[in-house]
Amino acid sequence: MDEQSPVIGIITVGYNRVDSISRLLNRLNDCDYPHGDVPLVISLDNCGKTDVLDFAEAYRWRHGKKTVIHQPQRLGLKRHILKCGSYIEAYGWDAAIVLEDDVYTAACFYEYARQAVIAYRDDDRIAGISLYALTQNQTVQYPFSPALSQYDAYFMQYAQSLGQVWMRRQWKAFESWYSENSETFTECGGVPFNVCRWPETSWLKYHIRYCVENDKYFVYPYNSLTTNFGDVGSHTTRRNSFLQTALQQKAKAAYNFPRFGCCDVNYDAWCENTGLVFDGIDPSQVCIDIYGGKRNYQNRRYWLTSLPKPYRIVKSFGMELLPPDMNVLCNLPGDAIFLYDTAEADTPPEVPDRDVFMWGYYNRLMYPDPAIRKLADGINKEIRRERRKLLRNPKELFKKIASRLR
């Protein structure tokens, strides 16, 4: 096999949404494939209707061989997605780009994937390649952005489902693990609490747990090669734009991919930067928890968090730079992020209206002070109590805000 020409197939995954699968497939025909023919598999679960199958069979793929696979009986989302992984071996590919039908791609997505496969297909520390640039920390329902570097990608211990590349050897390792761990989902300390609560129809939570338990990572792009329409489906009851993100427009001639272990930008499954270190403190004794979602579940002595806690403050930082971990990396003074020594009790720091402050920080309010003062007058407790519901239903949040600002 030519080292510079890995065989990478595209797998599109559909069920009963003909509008979604047609939007994706029509987009794929318009994308760029500068290195020859590309095999396409359209894998359809059985929904009892024929409209999606009829479209798939009539669809003309202009860039190589098309194969339509229609399951004779319904598998369900988890079993269907996992079955798609078996196509890598069945068709003799080096890797597969897996796209569920509500995903939409940048025109240059394939070239990015091709170069990424060349960079990582022999690295067993890498479990997969994300084409989606993560913009949300879903554990705490706050925006997420990674610290920047000289590279075009960074590492995160979190598998992806909004456009991803599975490489043959790494996928076989996951399949082997899954065959021994698929009976029930056992909670793993490093897996975020919200992921553990995802329904059993989720295949992704198993892939995330696999990464955590085996200390493996996904490669994430800074500039997204896919986005998501949030169509109504198995896990979504109402269409939303929560997962939409800006798409990269043109491919680079040569992407600069970091080698694992030589890049300072690494995140765990909680979207916390694992590269933060403190003089004189063993990194294994520090819980990095700036977002406040981990709760120091490992009971480490030192706890870096934005939460007010009853321990001695070793050091504190501001929260003005974006992303939040940059405030620590740049040693920005302030009273918003605290490094606690949990071995010594103390009075918790005063952090008035933290939820409102965090909301203003992440939403980058231009003139936050008057708004925050009014919001803090009575609405803070409501936001804290109903935060998850309000963030999923912005209209209700805006109604509450408007009622306070009148």
Write out pLDDT tens, residues 138-168. 999 889 999 999 999 999 999 999 999 999 9
Give the residue with greater pLDDT, 374 vs 348: 348
The predicted pLDDT at position 379 comes to 59
What confidence tens digit (pLDDT) does each residue in 79-120 have?
Answer: 999 999 999 999 999 999 999 999 999 999 999 999 999 999
Residues in the chain: 406
* 233 pLDDT above the threshold of 70: no
Tell which residue, 52, 51, 25, 21, has the closest CA to residue 40. 25
What confidence tens digit (pLDDT) does each residue in 20-37 have?
Answer: 999 999 999 999 999 989
The predicted pLDDT at position 356 comes to 74
The predicted pLDDT at position 125 comes to 97
The predicted pLDDT at position 274 comes to 94
* C-beta neighbour count of 46 within 10 angstroms: 15
The predicted pLDDT at position 236 comes to 61
Sorting pLDDT into bands at 50, 70 and 90, what band is 354? Answer: confident
The predicted pLDDT at position 258 comes to 95
pLDDT (mean) for 230-249: 75
* 405 pLDDT above the threshold of 90: no
The token pair at 338 is 């605290």
The sign of the CA dihedral 322, 383, 306, 205 is negative
The predicted pLDDT at position 2 comes to 43
Cis peptide before 368 (omega within 30 of 0): no
* 208 pLDDT above the threshold of 70: yes
pLDDT (mean) for 247-251: 93
Tell me the C-alpha distance between 189 and 234, whole Å: 27
Q: Measured in whole angstroms, how far is the alpha carbon of residue 332 from the centre of its chain?
A: 28
Tell me the C-alpha distance between 105 and 103, whole Å: 7
pTM higher than 0.85, yes or no?
yes
* 345 pLDDT above the threshold of 60: yes
pLDDT > 90: percent of the chain: 76
Give the residue with greater pLDDT, 374 vs 311: 311
The token pair at 191 is 């897996």
Q: Out of 215-224, 227-236, 245-254, 305-314, which region has the weakest mean confidence (pLDDT)?
A: 227-236
Query: Do 231 and 249 meet the contact criterion of CB atoms below 8 Å apart?
Result: no
Residue 104 β-bridge partners: 227
137 φ/ψ angles, rounded to the nearest 5 degrees: -95, 95
**Strand ranges (DSSP E) for 199-247?**
217-221, 226-228
The token pair at 288 is 């990095």
Q: How high does pLDDT run on average in the chain?
A: 90
The token pair at 154 is 């960074």
Query: Do 201 and 234 meet the contact criterion of CB atoms below 8 Å apart?
Result: yes
- Hey, where are the domains in the chain? 8-267, 283-345, 354-405
Q: What is the per-residue burial (b if ≥16 Cβ within 10 Å, else e) of 380-404?
A: beebeeebeebbeeeeebeebbeee
DSSP annotation string for 142-191: EE--PPP-SSSEEEES----SSEEEEHHHHHHHHHHHHHH-SS----TTS
Return the CATH number of 8-267, one of 1.50.10.10, 3.90.550.10, 3.40.50.300, 3.40.640.10. 3.90.550.10
The sign of the CA dihedral 169, 90, 110, 34 is positive
Tell which residue, 9, 26, 20, has the closest CA to residue 44. 20
The helix, strand and coil proportions of the chain, stated in percent and rounded to the nearest 5, come to 30, 20, 50
* 333 pLDDT above the threshold of 60: yes
* 234 pLDDT above the threshold of 60: no
The predicted pLDDT at position 105 comes to 98
* C-beta neighbour count of 110 within 10 angstroms: 24
According to DSSP, the β-strands at 8-14 and 95-100 are parallel
According to DSSP, the β-strands at 40-44 and 66-70 are parallel
What confidence tens digit (pLDDT) does each residue in 365-400 have?
Answer: 654 555 555 555 555 566 666 665 666 666 676 676
The predicted pLDDT at position 1 comes to 36
pLDDT > 70: percent of the chain: 86
pLDDT (mean) for 252-263: 91
Q: Measured in whole angstroms, how far is the alpha carbon of residue 135 from the centre of its chain?
A: 7
pLDDT (mean) for 214-230: 96
According to DSSP, the β-strands at 136-137 and 164-167 are unpaired
The predicted pLDDT at position 351 comes to 81
What confidence tens digit (pLDDT) does each residue in 47-72 have?
Answer: 999 999 999 999 999 999 999 999 99
